[in-house]
Amino acid sequence: MMTAVAQWRRRRLFIGDRDRRPVMTLFIEQCLNGLQFGLLLFLLAAGLTLVFGIMDLVNLAHGSLYMLGAYFAATFAAWTGSFVFGAVLALGATLLVGMAVEVIAMRRLYGRDHLDHVLATFGLILFFDELVRLIWGAGGMSLPLPSWLNTSVRVLPGVDYSAYKLSIIVVSLAVAAFLYFLIMRTRLGMLIRAGASNREMVGALGVNIKLLFTLVFGLGAALAGLAGLMQAPILTVQIGMGENILILAFVITVIGGIGSIRGAFVAAILVGFIDTLGRAYFTDLLRLAFTKETAATAAPALSSMLIYLLMAIVLVIRPEGLFPASSK
């Protein structure tokens, strides 16, 4: 003989207990996804921000290096039959291509107007897209996961996460740590930091600027290639894959501060979380008010917009970015 309110309360208690756990595990999983995506973006943005900061070069073709990394990995993995071996070879190949591009094309662009950079590197995008089509054909490629990575790992009780994605997180963090060590603790890193804050001075001090620039560009290319090959098994290996993600990399570079690795790291994680959590939760949020299709269509759009909004806000409030590298 319970009152209606008491009955309702009792039912709520049961339901509350039951559906809190899946909601929590889903949230943790989404956070991990956001972290993974953010770290991948960091790898891409790190190279971009370095090149931008040190050589003052706007390189739109950075996405092409990302694409090449994926294609190389797919090819070498198929040749050698080993995923890891293929990945290592691909890294080396992308590094070489990056350095070659720097010597042949980029060198002539230093000191020129940013508009010239944009145009020239836009032309390079077209060139690389076609080159890939010529060599590998129009159909794209696939990079299958080795079976030892194609399982799930119990990260927390009730939370099963893909082993491969976990390995992406681990590898990216390792690379980030390596970059930190390189930039902060080695002579090369010191030169890089100096170059980012005052280019002319470094040249005046007698450092072999040409070699430094080639190395930095190569490093950026290798990072982009790593990002490309790591996402290949779970996302895609196709022509033009660089264009979509390049924009995000630029946004991250601007938010973080041009020339700053630390800034790129923070901004990338931020963007990764906003994008992933936005896409996941906006859909549900919108579904309260709209139809399923409208929600499904609008959610990714909204979360993408958020990222650009963030960049616009940062540019208006703090135009040099969150962690500006250069000091004038």
Partner 1 sequence: MRKVLLAASAAVLLAVGPATAQNKSIKIGFISTFSGPVAVIGNDMRNSFELALDHMGRKMGGLSVEVVYEDDGFKPEVGKQKTDKLIESDKVDFIVGYIWSNVLLASMKSAVDAKTFLITSNAGPHQVAGEQCSPFIFSTSWQNDQTPQAMGHYMNQKGVKTAFLIGPNYAAGKDMLGGVASTFKGKIVGQELTKWPDQLDFSAELAKAKAEKPDAIFVFYPGKAGVQFLSQYAQSGLKGQIPLYTAFTIDELSLPLQKDLALGVPGAQEWVNDLPNDANKKFVADYLKKYPGLRPSFYGAQTYDAANLIASAVEATNGNLSDKVAVQKALEKADFKSVRGNFRFNTNHMPIQNFYLQDAVKDQDGNYVLKTVATIVEDNQDRFVTQCHMK
Partner 2 sequence: MTPTFNLRTTVGLLLLLALVLLPVYVELTGSRFLLTLFTRIVILALAAVSLNLILGYGGMMSFGHAAYLGIGGYAVGMLAFEGITSGFVQWPVALLVSAFFAFVIGALSLRTRGVYFIMITLAFAQMAYYIVAGLARYGGDDGLTIEKRSQFIAPINLSNKVQFYYICLVLLCGAIYLVWRLVNSRFGMALQGARSNDTRMRAIGFPTYHYKLIGFVIAGTLCGLAGALLANHTDFVSPAMMYWTRSGDLIIMVVLGGMGSTFGPLFGAVALLVLEEVLSGITEHWQIILGPLLLLVVLFARGGIDGLLGKAHHG
Residues that bind partner 2 (CB under 8 A): 58, 105, 108, 114-116, 118-120, 122-131, 133-134, 243, 247, 250-251, 254, 258, 291, 293-294, 296-302, 304-305, 308-309, 311-312, 315-316, 319
The 3-class secondary structure across 112-138, one letter per residue, is CCHHHHHHHHHHHHHHHHHHHHHHHCC
CB of 4 to partner 2, least distance (A): 39
Nearer to partner 1, 29 or 102 (CB): 29
Q: Does 189 help bind partner 1 (rule: CB under 8 A)?
A: no
CB of 311 to partner 2, least distance (A): 5
CB of 114 to partner 1, least distance (A): 29
What are the tokens at 170? 């681990």
Q: How far is CA 130 from the centre of its chain?
A: 23
Q: CA 84 to CA 82: how far, in whole Å?
A: 6
Q: Please say whether the beta carbons of 265 and 256 come within 8 A.
A: yes
CB of 232 to partner 2, least distance (A): 22
Nearer to partner 2, 47 or 86 (CB): 47
CB of 158 to partner 1, least distance (A): 10
Residue from 131, 135, 140 nearest 61 by CA: 131
DSSP H or E stretch at residue 161: strand 159-162
Q: CA 271 to CA 303: how far, in whole Å?
A: 10
Residues lying near partner 1 in the complex (CB under 8 A): 19, 22-23, 25-26, 29-30, 33, 133, 137-140, 142, 144-145, 150-152, 160, 162-165, 234-239, 244, 279-280, 283, 292-293, 296-297, 300
